[in-house]
Amino acid sequence: MQPHHCDIDGRFSESIFKTAAKLNHLAVLLNDSLNLRISHRIRVKQANQISFMQNTPSVEQMFLAIAERRVHND
């Protein structure tokens, strides 16, 4: 399908296609940027969860600590 030419040598339609290509390229860059930000946030959230889990004592560790305190206090 031939593009519609608004002037004799088709410069107008060429500029439209170039502008559309540039806008499409910008849309791709924006999408990539958003995807990077989202994946970064996910990685930070996962790292925070892992850190929290590593720094939080288990129930068993808490009961042992309570038992040790009772032994030392008695």
**18 located within any domain:** yes
Domain range spanning residue 59? 11-73
Residue 6 lies in a domain: no
Record the pTM. 0.49
**Structural contact between residues 15 and 23, judged by C-beta atoms closer than 8 angstroms:** no
pLDDT tens digits, 5-62: 555 566 777 888 899 999 999 999 999 999 999 999 999 999 988 888 888 888 888 8
Instruction: Count CA within 13 A, CB hemisphere, residue 43.
Output: 6
Q: Looking at the domain assignment, is residue 4 inside a domain?
A: no
User: Could you write out the DSSP letters of every residue in 1-43?
Assistant: -PPPPSSTT-HHHHHHHHHHHHHHHHHHHHHHHHHHHHHHHHH
- Number of structural domains in the chain: 1
* Structural domain contains residue 55: yes
Long-range contact pairs involving 21-25 (C-beta distance under 8 Å, separation at least 24): none
In a domain, 3, yes or no: no
67 in any annotated domain = yes
68 domain-assigned: yes
